């Protein structure tokens, strides 16, 4: 299971990508930081956003 994602980590990711992520995507990543979903047409995998903190979380 991916680690939780902070607002700071999301902001750094947006800055590195040079984009503002959609609010729905940001909210979903804060809750689960990755996962899978399906639509009638396709299956999607959301990869977790890299944890750049120096905290040991194992």
pLDDT of residue 52: 66
Structurally, how many domains does the chain consist of? 1
* Residues contacting residue 19 through CB under 8 Å, at least 6 positions apart: none
On whether residue 52 sits in a domain, the answer given is no
On whether residue 15 sits in a domain, the answer given is yes
The answer to whether residues 32 and 2 touch, using CB atoms and an 8 Å cutoff, is yes
Low-confidence spans in the chain with pLDDT less than 50: 1
Q: Is 18 helix (H, G, I), strand (E, B) or coil?
A: coil
Q: Which domain holds residue 32?
A: 7-46
Q: Can you tell me which residue has the tokens 């399906």?
A: 38
pLDDT of residue 46: 83
Q: Which two tokens stand for residue 2?
A: 């991916």
d(C-alpha 44, C-alpha 39), whole Å: 8
């Amino acid at each position: 299971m991916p680690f939780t994602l902070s607002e700071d980590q999301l902001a750094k990711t947006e800055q590195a990508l040079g984009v503002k992520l959609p609010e729905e995507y940001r909210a979903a990543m804060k809750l689960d930081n990755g996962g899978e979903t399906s639509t009638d047409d396709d299956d999607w995998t959301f990869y977790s956003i890299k944890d750049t903190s120096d905290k040991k979380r194992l």
